[in-house]
Structure 1
Amino acid sequence: MHKGSCLCGAVTFEIEGDLRAPDACHCSKCRKQSGHFFASTDVPRRQIAIQGGESVTWYQSSEKVRRGFCGVCGSSLFWDPPHHDWIAVAMGAFDGPTETKLKMHIYPADKGDYYDITDNLPQNAQ
């Protein structure tokens, strides 16, 4: 069981089972949402239980995806493509160790100019 929350604790979640290896998205929307790049893990919807869901504010950032954040403290929590059977959960929202390692970078061409990607992980254009 993996547990996590927003900064103020208004939204908490529990995930059953092991977590998939996370990726880091460097696209401009994820950078604006998170303040840097957005690292997340994809979780099957049936494995996540969200408490305090009434405090989650959803922003429809494109036709295909919405982004969830705590409406109280503003913590970025979810990247949700409703047409899929999974939801991406922000790695920074987990309370304890996740026992995962970053698997890849996506949209590296859109990364901020103030840092380099030097970890030799795969870089996927999309």
Structure 2
Amino acid sequence: MTTGSCLCGAVRFTVTGPLRPVIACHCGQCRKSSGHHVAATSAHRDHIAVTGVLKWFQSSDTARRGFCGTCGSNLFWDGPGENLSIFAGSLDGATGLQIAGHIFCADKGDYYELPKDVPQAEGYDPALTTRVVD
């Protein structure tokens, strides 16, 4: 089981299933919502239990972002499919996860470089974003 929370602790969650390796998203929306790129894992939505009150922002026609209404911590990205993305920084303690790739690299900021030894996609890449490790 994996646990996580927002900065103030008003929203907490547990994940009882496997987590996908972390994918870094460099799209404009992730950069604007976080102040940098987003590093997120994901799990099957049926394996995630949330306590506390999440606020949701509909960031596009197909996705919304979940955050704490008290402290503003970004916690989830909810789009189509069976998985819910979880911002990796919201997880408690050591996770054993590693960054397995970068998506929307065409939109990345000009103030940082990406490692050459990790897969990169110019835009969305379902092969990276839908993997879950058992």
Shorter-chain TM range is: over 0.9
8 Å CA contact 2:17–2:44 kept in 1: the answer is no
Residue number in structure 1 paired with 2:29: 29
Gaps of 5+ in 2: 124-134
CA offsets, 1:62-83, max 9 Å, x none? 00000011100000000001x3
Q: 2:106 aligns with which of 103, 106, 109?
A: 109
Compute the displacement of 1:17 (Å).
Answer: 2.9
CA offsets, 1:6-27, max 9 Å, x none? 0000000000133210100000
CA distance in 2, matches of 1:44, 1:28: 25
Letter of the 2:44 partner, please give it.
P
CA distance in 2, matches of 1:49, 1:25: 24
**Alignment RMSD:** 1.0
Letter of the 1:74 partner, please give it.
G
Letter of the 1:111 partner, please give it.
K
Q: 1:75 aligns with which of 64, 73, 76?
A: 73
Residue number in structure 2 paired with 1:43: 43
Aligned positions, number:
123
Q: 1:58 aligns with which of 25, 36, 56?
A: 56
Identity of aligned residues (%): 50
Residue number in structure 1 paired with 2:126: none
8 Å CA contact 1:69–1:77 kept in 2: the answer is yes
Letter of the 2:77 partner, please give it.
W
CA offsets, 1:37-57, max 9 Å, x none? 0011121011110010x2x11
Moved over 4 A (4+): none
Distance 1:3 1:36, change over 3 A: same
8 Å CA contact 1:19–1:98 kept in 2: the answer is no
TM-score by length of structure 2 reads 0.88
8 Å CA contact 2:18–2:43 kept in 1: the answer is no
